[in-house]
Amino acid sequence: MARSFVSEARRRGLGTRKQRIGPIIEGLAEEHADAEIALHFGSDVELLISVMLSAQTTDVNVNRVTEKLFVKYRKPEDYLAVPVEELEQDIFQTGFFRQKTRSIRGAMRMLIEEFDGQVPRTMPELLRLPGVARKTANVVAAELGDAQGIVVDTHVRRLSQRLGLTREEDPVKIERDLVRIVPKADWHRFPHLLIWHGRRVCDARKPRCEVCVLEDLCPSSRLH
């Protein structure tokens, strides 16, 4: 599917990916001026914990859990001060709670031992933390003010393919395609724009192309 949309954009004369990306970002920014991360957090550590908990669950569910969690746990040491079973119970509702507990405790221990209790800013350092893969590291780095890549979640993947910005399926390869065409100044907000557009308009099963601000730029809209 994604490959046909890349070819379709070329066949329809919609312009190259680099020619279209500017108008795409502008259109989405005007339509979704409120697009931002949906997770709630009040510190760098809370940001890291929230993103780690968000794997395989919804942001709404994570926010429901962290509303109480962040009252009880305020600094890295707090996550190591309780029995493993207690932390597991506190994050149980986010799913995969045993693995997430191991990752959180490992990450908090490394923050204390190697980073003076502070969340690191660079991708190589973030990727050293237990349980932190590229997507999590990208989100944290971007929210801390220094986007070093482009977050690729299910919405970003789907919309990038539908917009003919990539023909890839693998998130790492999709990110590689996107960083080539998206201006670095937009690396932070671009995923949020796609995520919010995916939630509000470009639904996975039934995209609302008739009300989409990108209809004239999107090769897939002409095929629905």
Active site amino acids: 135, 153
CB atoms within 10 A of CB 95: 13
Q: Amino acid identity, residue 149?
A: G
CA distances to 44, 85, 112 from 69, in Å: 15, 14, 19
Torsion angle of the four alpha carbons 173, 159, 154, 134, in this order, in degrees rounded to the nearest 10: 40
CB atoms within 10 A of CB 45: 22
Q: How far apart are CA 224 and CA 214, in angstroms?
A: 14
Of 108, 87, 101, 132, the closest CA to residue 45 belongs to: 108
